[in-house]
Amino acid sequence: MTIAAEGSLAQERSVGSRRSRFMRPALGLLLPVTLALVWEIVVRRGWASGRLAPPPSVIFSTFVDLARTGELQRDALVTLSRVAAGFGLGAVVATVVGAASGYSPTLRRLLDPSLQALRAIPSIAWIPLFILWLGIFEASKVTLIAFGVFFPVYLGLMGAIQSVDRKLVEVGRAFRLSDLEMVRRILLPAVLPAYVISLRAGLGLGWMFVVAAELMGASEGLGYLLIDGQQLGKPAEIVAAIVAFAIVGKATDWLIVLAAAPFLRWEDVVQHD
């Protein structure tokens, strides 16, 4: 292949990738936008009542109303702070325990069986106990969220440390790294991609648990909006709260991806996000 032809091929590829970088998010929005449009048309035409399943226009106006009164922001912020606190607590504990169990077989044999047993219990089952122990206010909610965040992060990190390529560990041994240096210079960087994924999984579970916690008794928060919408017969409010969950939840996940991206540039993957 001549150099000129190679150059034009490279150019084609870069133009193609520029086009596809725009196409990718656009493609992701295609399905929901289409469905929303279809439903809007169906209700407008009177083929469906739109009472129990409000069309996008009604949801949107409810959304705007809630935002205008400041209620939406306040509830979103309350829920977000609960998730943040629970995530922080759960992730930190899980990182410490997961790292220790991953590195030390003795510790793993000591702790893991009990933790796996706890993990097997359906999460919602803990709510009555936590309420009894910690009351119905913030402590029980944050603890529940932390509990939910703990297991994916613990499991992910422990598994990742155990799967670190033995060949790379040997390089560390050949260069006579101390235990601490081995963890810092080889194990931690090696597990970073899997660790980030486990954090995102933990965060997702945290959002799930905050809904459960707020459904069980809250006077503010997006979960409270759900219950409020149900008790007052306002489906639009429920859906608006759900949409708010989706938006804020996705935003927090995106924050993790953004924060981790510069530390993961080295990965040998098919495609970087």
Partner 1 sequence: MLVLDRVGKTYPNGVHALGGVSLEVELGEIVALIGGSGCGKSTLLRAVAGLDPASEGTVMLDGERIGAPHEKIGIIFQEPRLLPWLKVSDNVGFGLGDRPKAERAERVITALRRVGLADKAGVWPRELSGGQAQRVAIARALVPRPEVLLLDEPFSALDAFTRTDLQDHLLDLWTDAKPTLILVTHDVDEAIVLADRIMVMWPRPGRIFDEIAVDLPRPRDRQSAAFDFVKRRVLTALDHSLNRTPPNTALEQRAEAGAAMWW
**Positions that interact with partner 1 (CB under 8 A):** 167-168, 170-171, 173-176, 181, 185-186, 189-190, 192, 265-268
* AA letter at 139: A
Interatomic CA distance for residues 118 and 202, integer angstroms: 16
| Closest CA relative to residue 145, chosen from 132, 156, 133, 130 | 130
The 10 Å Cβ neighbour count of residue 211 is: 18
Taking the least distance from each CB to partner 1, the nearer of 78 and 186 is: 186
CB of 170 to partner 1, least distance (A): 6
- By beta-carbon proximity to partner 1, the closer residue of 23 and 168 is 168
Q: What is d(CA 76, CA 254) in angstroms, rounded to the nearest whole number?
A: 17
CB of 22 or CB of 266, closer to partner 1: 266
Contacts of 256 by beta carbon, 8 Å cutoff, 6+ apart: 196, 199, 200, 203
In the complex, what is the shortest distance from the CB of residue 267 to partner 1, in angstroms, rounded to a whole number? 7
Shortest Å distance, C-beta 190 to partner 1: 7
Helices assigned H by DSSP within 46-70: 56-68
For residue 226, which of 238, 215, 217 has the smallest C-alpha distance? 238
Q: Which is nearer to partner 1, 41 or 171 (CB)?
A: 171
In the complex, minimum distance from the CB of residue 16 to partner 1, in angstroms, rounded to a whole number: 21
Select 51 or 173, whichever has its Cβ closest to partner 1.
Answer: 173
Shortest Å, Cβ 92 to partner 1: 23
